[in-house]
Structure 1
Amino acid sequence: MKCSIKKFSEMYETVYRDLYRYALCLMKNPQEAEDAVSEAVITAYENIHKLKKEEAFKSWIFTILTNKCKKRLKKALKETLGREEELPEQATAPDYDLAIDVKKAFFVLSEEEQILVGLSVFGGYCSQEIGEMMGLNPNTVRSKRSRALKKMECVLGSYGEDEKERRE
């Protein structure tokens, strides 16, 4: 799609609040969220020629943002796990362990599942809104979200079992 700076700005204007809110829910840090959104916008602008239909802009830029957040979270997780190995076992808080497990479970999901879960759980969007963003039927959104959350439950259950075995 050919796009002028003005047209890109107009399209971005319609989603910038949603992008930030979504990134903040994923990143849990305002500065990290702002950085992820900035990176996503730059990437989107540089690759706008790859977008085939203007109507797909919202889901397309959310996909880019999801990838940016995913990359940042993976990097932070690696850094955290690296530091965790240096700490004595008692220094790791249980809630911290759970947060790492939830992030690991989230990354097991496919990209589409991550977007669905992110928008609904972290972003607070309803099935109708997510369906409009992604070009899906709201019923399809609900069933895919349900399967994704069950997948995360299974992964979290296996992490819990691994933790029990490790402590015994």
Structure 2
Amino acid sequence: MTKRIAYKTPQASFAARTQRQGACLVWAGAIRPNGYGVMWDGQQVVRVHRWAYEQANGPIPEGADIDHICGNRACAEASHLRVTSRKQNMENLTRPNRNSPTGVRGVHRNTSGGKPWRVRVKHNYREYNGGYYDTIAEAESAAIELRNKLFTHNDADRKAA
């Protein structure tokens, strides 16, 4: 059985359970199955990245998301966090949906014949066709290029391109 340490303040808890990994300040405490760190702030359990953002920048506007520019959900480095709308936050996803059969964001099997890979990107409730490709690598590059044209908060892809 692991002995629990009681920290006097949330700041002490945060300092004791974060570690520098490159440019990220990674939470080494409790992590939920969705990848976000959580901690006790003295009154309730809070998501660490939101707590860290508020410590550095003040209150988060009602209904706003906090986006990890670095794409690391366990990161609590305030300079890696920004206020976004839900739409903007979804534009900066770093991985495909859990149920993606290809494992590549925006790339699908083409079942209508011809080239085996198809690129489709959704933006503002509209689906954009990015073409058909012989290899998954070509399709992935095309999906990144299309997202970079359509999205305003697509930092993960801009680094990959």
TM over 0.5: no
If the length of structure 1 is used for normalisation, what is the TM-score? 0.27
Higher Rg: 2
Q: Which protein has the bigger strand share?
A: 2
More helix by share: 1
Query: Larger RCO: Structure 1 or Structure 2 (Cα < 8 Å, ≥ 6 residues apart)?
Result: 1
Query: TM-score normalized by structure 2?
Result: 0.28
